[in-house]
Amino acid sequence: MAESLIGLAAVLILAIARVPLGFAMAIVGASGFAVLRGPTAALETVGQLILDFSMSYTFAILPMFVLMGAFVHRSGLSEDLYDTSHAWLGHFRGGLSMATVAASAGFGAVCGSSVATAATMGRVALPSMRRFGYDSGLAAGTIAAGGTLGILIPPSMSLVVYGFLTQQDIGRLFIAGLTPGVLTVILYFAVVVAVTRLRPELGPRGPRTGWLDRFRLLRGVSGALLLFVLVLGGIYLGVFTPMEAGGVGAVGACFIAIARRRLKWRAFVASLIEAARTTSMVFSVAFGAIILSNFVNVAGLPERISAVIIALDLPNLGVIFAICLVYILLGCVFDGLALLFLTVPVFAPIVATLGYDLIWFGIVVIMVSEIALITPPVGMNVFVIKSMNPELPLQTIYKGIGPFLVADMVRLAIVILLPGLVLFLPRLMQ
């Protein structure tokens, strides 16, 4: 137990010292295991863990979905999604913020990454909102919060990781994310309406777009809609497996980019390089988290946590809320993927013992991971926006995020209290 806590503290120190998180976790995990079991056992275990993970058929899906996202980015779909959303919603008070949320949902549906969604929408939406006189806090908060939709609306890298760790069907996890994703969009819209009603100067109305132009712009996003239906529809109808869907999605995104005349040879090569870099980053974090998780397990932390939860004698819902609180607190200092690798093997068996569906729990975990993306001090989406706009104070961004965090808490409570909301569509696949 003590060794685990020392190890986690060491990871935080290394992360603060700007050591890449994957390497920090790998170093601490391997060193800790060596102290407990000896250097030889540590080297053998680390090598075997990395080999087993890299040979996993399930994780073949990740590079394909990453590549799909890269092609989508190069195709200019993000700009078209935002322009279309702007045309339909921009004339409302706070309409540009709502358009950003809608475009983030659309881009997340063909991207799978929250950070990529936040970065893309930051480039596309923030200049427009500034031009129309939107408050900087509201604009940045909308982009950061909207970006979190990237890991909830399928396809999602985080859902793939969760499915791998719990041996749950990835297709059912993808389908389960649809309803909570729609609920999130509705709640974020409600936040924008409430904020701009109380303070209209924060989000002034934009010009009204004619109906003819609105429908004309819809043609520009037909490719994104087609790709989403192709991937999710194919999985839902059993035409192909989630692993095959990754390849289908990547090829489909490539053809869409070519059809839009946005994918020249240089852009194609750049997309491959971008996908390779992102995949390498994801796998480095995954390797490090697996090694650290192995050390933590050997040190007895999961058993200690389980014993504490049992000793508290909480009702089932109390246990779930306690687990969510742990996720939110750890999410303040850990990357989302690392958080999944470290915690899911600990909490999933406890949740299963209580009789809860692990598909439902997966969506709950992803939602609390979303919250972690916009909470200090890490808040990856916040730092993405900050890096793109150095002049924007962090406190301004976090102030703008505040109302969206309230909406996230409401959504989390709804999903926990009404699990059927998540499980309705997956059950239709049986």
In a domain, 397, yes or no: yes
Instruction: Tell me the per-residue pLDDT of 260-311, one tens digit each, with 9 for 90 and over.
Output: 787 788 888 888 888 888 788 778 878 888 888 888 878 877 777 777 777 7
Cβ-contact 221, 113 below 8 angstroms: no
In a domain, 285, yes or no: no
Residue 218: band (very low, low, confident or very high) from pLDDT cuts 50, 70, 90: confident
pLDDT of residue 98: 92
- What's the chain's average pLDDT? 84
44: Cβ–Cβ under 8 A, 6 or more apart, which residues?
none
| Closest residue by Cα to residue 140 from 313, 374, 423, 346 | 374
pLDDT of residue 430: 59
- Quote the Cα angle for 39-40-42, to 5°: 65
Most confident of 192-196, 215-219, 241-245: 192-196
In a domain, 96, yes or no: yes
Cβ-contact 335, 378 below 8 angstroms: yes
Tell me the C-alpha distance between 262 and 388, whole Å. Answer: 24
Tell me the C-alpha distance between 271 and 204, whole Å. Answer: 37
Instruction: Tell me the per-residue pLDDT of 307-337, one tens digit each, with 9 for 90 and over.
Output: 777 777 788 888 898 888 888 877 776 767 7
Instruction: Tell me the per-residue pLDDT of 97-148, one tens digit each, with 9 for 90 and over.
Output: 999 999 888 888 777 677 778 888 888 888 888 888 898 889 999 998 988 8
3-state secondary structure of 146: helix
Cβ-contact 64, 249 below 8 angstroms: yes
In a domain, 67, yes or no: yes
Residue 24, CA distances (Å) to 27, 282, 334, 339, 430 in order: 5, 14, 12, 14, 42
Domain span holding position 382: 59-263+300-428
In a domain, 228, yes or no: yes
Tell me the C-alpha distance between 329 and 324, whole Å. Answer: 9
Number of domain units in the chain: 1
Cβ-contact 363, 418 below 8 angstroms: no
3-state secondary structure of 282: helix
CB neighbours of residue 55 within 10 Å: 9
The secondary structure element, H or E, covering residue 264 is none
Identity of the residue numbered 244: E
In a domain, 274, yes or no: no
3-state secondary structure of 274: helix
Instruction: Tell me the per-residue pLDDT of 77-89, one tens digit each, with 9 for 90 and over.
Output: 778 888 888 888 8
> Would you say residue 183 has pLDDT above 90?
yes
Is the Cα dihedral 127, 131, 135, 138 positive or negative?
A: negative
Structure tokens belonging to residue 14: 């290394």
pLDDT of residue 364: 94
DSSP output for 294-310: HHHHHHTHHHHHHHHHH
Mean pLDDT for the stretch of residues 141-170 = 86
Peptide bond into 155 cis (omega under 30): yes
In a domain, 283, yes or no: no
> Would you say residue 425 has pLDDT above 90?
no
| Full-model pTM | 0.86
pLDDT of residue 60: 73
Instruction: Tell me the per-residue pLDDT of 354-392, one tens digit each, with 9 for 90 and over.
Output: 889 999 999 999 998 888 878 876 677 887 788 777 888
pLDDT of residue 192: 94
pLDDT of residue 357: 93
| Closest residue by Cα to residue 155 from 223, 79, 221, 250 | 250
Cβ-contact 147, 104 below 8 angstroms: yes
> Would you say residue 49 has pLDDT above 90?
no
- Quote the Cα angle for 421-427-429, to 5°: 130
In a domain, 36, yes or no: no
Tell me the C-alpha distance between 369 and 147, whole Å. Answer: 12
Structure-token match 């053998």, residue found:
44
Residue 422: band (very low, low, confident or very high) from pLDDT cuts 50, 70, 90: very high
